[in-house]
């Protein structure tokens, strides 16, 4: 379960979260996952898109709809 480090697109603070293959739809890359920034001053959701090597391709500020119809998982950041 890779531990990933990135920044929240809302507040630009550093975030960390764990992600695994099960968390996204491997039939379509880049694959979206909702990231919930668990921080009292932020607490916002964004959509991160991952390539097949768990790298973030890009991020969106809001919860984007699934293109494949599969439910998108929500991952909480680790404090
Ligand atoms: Zn944030």
Query: Domain residues for 14?
Result: 3-24+34-76
**Position 17 in a domain:** yes
Residue 63 Cα to ligand 1 middle (Å): 14
Positions of the chain with pLDDT under 50: none
**Which residues are placed with Cβ below 5 angstroms of ligand 1, an ion?**
8, 10-11, 37, 42
Using CA atoms, how far residue 55 sits from 3, 14, 20, 29, in Å, is 11, 16, 12, 11
Residue 27 Cα to ligand 1 middle (Å): 29
**Position 29 in a domain:** no
The reported pLDDT for the residue numbered 28 is 87
Residue 30, preceding peptide bond in cis (omega within 30° of 0): yes
Looking at the 3D structure of the chain, how many domains does it have?
1
**Position 38 in a domain:** yes
**Position 39 in a domain:** yes
Residue 13 Cα to ligand 1 middle (Å): 6
**Position 61 in a domain:** yes
Handedness of CA 44, 45, 47, 51 (dihedral sign): positive
Answer yes or no: pTM beyond 0.85.
Answer: yes
The reported pLDDT for the residue numbered 65 is 92
């Amino acid at each position: 379960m890779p531990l990933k480090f990135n920044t929240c697109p809302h507040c630009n603070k550093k975030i960390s979260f764990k992600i695994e293959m099960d968390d996204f739809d491997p039939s379509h890359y880049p694959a979206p996952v909702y990231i919930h920034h668990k921080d009292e001053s932020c607490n916002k959701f964004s959509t991160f898109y991952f390539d097949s090597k768990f790298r973030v391709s890009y991020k969106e500020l809001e919860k984007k709809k699934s293109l494949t119809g599969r439910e998108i998982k929500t991952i909480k950041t680790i404090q």
